[in-house]
Structure 1
C-alpha cells in the first residue's frame, strides 16, 4: 500500500474503533444508570447484544490499526512497532473479556425475572461483582493503550510523522488517560472525566488529517539514510 492509502486505512480503523465503542457505551448507559438495571437487561437483550457486537468491532479495529501501521513504524523503530501490536492486542483481549461479561449479566437478568424472592439478593450480588470485574477489565485494557499510545505519539513527534501539534496532544492525552486509570485504581477523585478529553480530541482529529495528508516519511532515522 502507498503511504496515503495506509494512512487512510489507519484513520478509518481509528474512527471505527472510537465510534463503535462510544456507540456501545451510549447504548449501555441508559440501562446501567438505572437502579433496577438488572431487571431491564434480559427484556432488552437485543440492544445489549448490539452493544457487545460494537465492542467486538472496536477490539478488531484496534488490532487492525496496529497491524496496518506496523510497516510504517518499523522504519523508525522495530521495538516500538512490535510493542504497539502487542499492547493493542492485550487491550483488545481485555475489552473482549469485558464484552463477554455483558452476556453474563443478561443471563443473570433472565434468572432474576424467573426466580423466587429468596434468590434475588444472590443475583444482585453476582451482578455487582460482574459489573466491577468488567470495569477492571476496561482499566486493564486502558493501561497498555495509554503506554503504547504515548510511545507512538513520541515517535510521531521525534520524526515529524504527523504535525507536532497532534503529537503533543497525543502525548498529553495518553498520559492523562494513564493518570485517570491510576487515580481510579486508588480511588483518588482528581480530574474526573476531563482526563479523557485530550486523548479523545487526538483520536477524533488526527484521522481526518491522515485522510488528506497521510504520514510524513521524509525524516528517517540516520541509519536509514
Structure 2
C-alpha cells in the first residue's frame, strides 16, 4: 500500500472518529443541556465530563482530517485546501469554547453544592448563560462552519474526481441548505430541532459518513 493510500485511509478513519465521538457526546451531555436547574441538583458530573472529553476528541479529529487531507489535495487546489484546513481548525476551536462553557457549569454546580455560592438565583442565571453559549457554539461550529468546509472540500473532490461523484455532490448541495438553516435559526425563524433543520443536515451527515467510509475502503483516486 503506497503512502498516499495510507494517508487517505487515516483521513477516513478520522472522519469516522468524528461520528464515533460526537454522537455519544450529545447523549452524555443531555443532563446539563436539558435540565435548566442542573446547577442546583445532585448533577451527573462524571457522565457530562465523559461527554466533554468526547467533544474534545471530535475537535482533535476535525483538525486531523484537514491536516491529513491537505497533504493530498494541496497540489489540486492550494487555496481551497488551505481554506479547508482553516475552517476545520475554526470548527474545532468553536467546539472547544463550548466544552469550556459546560466545564464552568460543572464547577459552578460543585460550588453551589459546597455552599460557596449562596445566591441560587444568580447561579441559575449564570448556568443558563453558559449553556446558551454552548448552544451557540454547536450551531456555529458543527452547524455553520462544517457547511463551509463541506463546500470547500467537496468542490475540490468533485472537480478533480478524487472520489465517486455522488459523494462530493452531497457536500456541495448540502452546504447551502445547512447554511440557510443555520442562518434562519440564528435569526429566530427556525429551531435546531425542527424538521427543516433535520432535512438540511442530512446531506452533510451523509457526505461526511460516506466520505469517511470510502477513504478507509478505497482511498483517493488520482486527480483527473
- Same fold, judged at TM 0.5 (above): yes
Partner of 2:79: 79
Offset of residue 193 of structure 1: 2.5
Structure 1 residues 22 and 118: alpha-carbon distance in aligned structure 2, compared to 1, 3 A threshold: same
- Stretch of structure 1 that moved more, 200-209 or 134-143: 134-143
1:121 aligned to 2:126? no
Q: Which runs of 4+ in 1 moved over 6 A?
A: none
Partner of 2:27: 26
Whether the aligned pair in 1 keeps the contact of 2:36 and 2:128 (CA below 8 Å) is: no
Offset of residue 151 of structure 1: 1.6
More helix by share: 1
Residues 58-90 of structure 1, C-alpha deviation per residue, up to 9 Å, x if partnerless? 111111111100121111111011111111111
Matches within 5 A, 1:102-181: 102-115=102-115, 119-141=119-141, 142-181=143-182
- Stretch of structure 1 that moved more, 174-183 or 82-91: 174-183
Offset of residue 197 of structure 1: 1.4
Structure 1: stretches of 5+ with no match in the other structure: 220-225
Offset of residue 7 of structure 1: 1.5
The root-mean-square deviation of aligned C-alpha atoms, in Å, is 2.0
Partner of 1:223: none
In the aligned structure 2, how far is the partner of 1:64 from the partner of 1:103?
Answer: 24
Structure 1 residues 186 and 118: alpha-carbon distance in aligned structure 2, compared to 1, 3 A threshold: same
Structure 1 residues 198 and 87: alpha-carbon distance in aligned structure 2, compared to 1, 3 A threshold: same
SS across alignment from 1:161 = coil
In the aligned structure 1, how far is the partner of 2:36 from the partner of 2:125?
Answer: 13
How many residues align structurally? 218
